[in-house]
């Protein structure tokens, strides 16, 4: 199993648009990827999936945000975060929590669509990649 932190934007994209983010969630369901997470990230995923402005997308697909959250939670490996990630490690301080979980949980990958995080490339041995990279390169190597 590949240990990875999955950014909230990827979970939301999987729930609303499908595509590569949904392929990653399917890998999670099939136990090929384990989600490294924390209480903070779980709370954020739950809050974002349940925002009123996204409700129309779930209704259009006859889906509920709880299904995606349940998949996320079943595959979750809870970790202690590393509190001493320097504030200047990222351009957007809101992204520090993802690095803290990835480093604290010894994740191999941080999968994101966030350009601020992607611009880092690697942070303390955690590869920061897009869903496309993860699926095309990492999963291909595993098979």
Number of alpha helices (DSSP H) and beta strands (DSSP E) in the chain: 9, 6
Output the six-digit token pair for 115. 């350009």
Q: In terms of residue numbers, what domain contains 122?
A: 2-142
Write out pLDDT tens, residues 26-67: 888 888 889 999 999 999 998 988 888 887 777 666 666 677
Into how many domains does the chain fold? 1
Q: Which residues does 28 contact at the CB level (< 8 Å), separation at least 6? A: 6, 34, 35, 71, 72, 75
Strands (E), 38-141: 76-78, 109-111, 122-123, 126-129
Helix, strand, coil percentages in the chain from 3-state DSSP, rounded to 5: 55, 15, 30
Write out pLDDT tens, residues 84-132: 888 888 888 899 999 999 999 999 999 999 999 999 999 999 999 999 9
Distance of CA 82 to the CA centre of its chain: 17
What local confidence, expressed as pLDDT, does residue 3 receive? 94
- Find out whether 68 and 25 touch, Cβ atoms under 8 Å: yes
**pTM (two decimals):** 0.89
Q: What is the CATH number of the domain that holds 105?
A: 3.40.50.1010
């Amino acid at each position: 199993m590949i240990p990875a932190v999955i950014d909230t934007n990827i979970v939301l994209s999987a729930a609303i648009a499908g595509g590569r983010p949904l392929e990653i969630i399917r890998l999670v369901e099939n136990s090929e990827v384990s989600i490294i997470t924390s209480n903070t990230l779980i709370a954020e995923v739950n809050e974002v999936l349940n925002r009123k402005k996204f409700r129309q997308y779930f209704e259009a697909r006859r889906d509920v945000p709880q299904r995606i959250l349940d998949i996320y939670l079943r595959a979750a490996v809870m970790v202690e975060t590393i509190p001493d990630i320097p504030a200047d490690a990222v351009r957007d301080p809101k992204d520090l929590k993802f690095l803290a979980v990835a480093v604290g949980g010894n994740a191999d990958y941080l999968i994101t669509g966030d350009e601020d995080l992607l611009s880092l490339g690697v942070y303390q041995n955690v590869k920061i990649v897009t869903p496309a990279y993860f699926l095309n390169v990492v999963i291909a190597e595993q098979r």
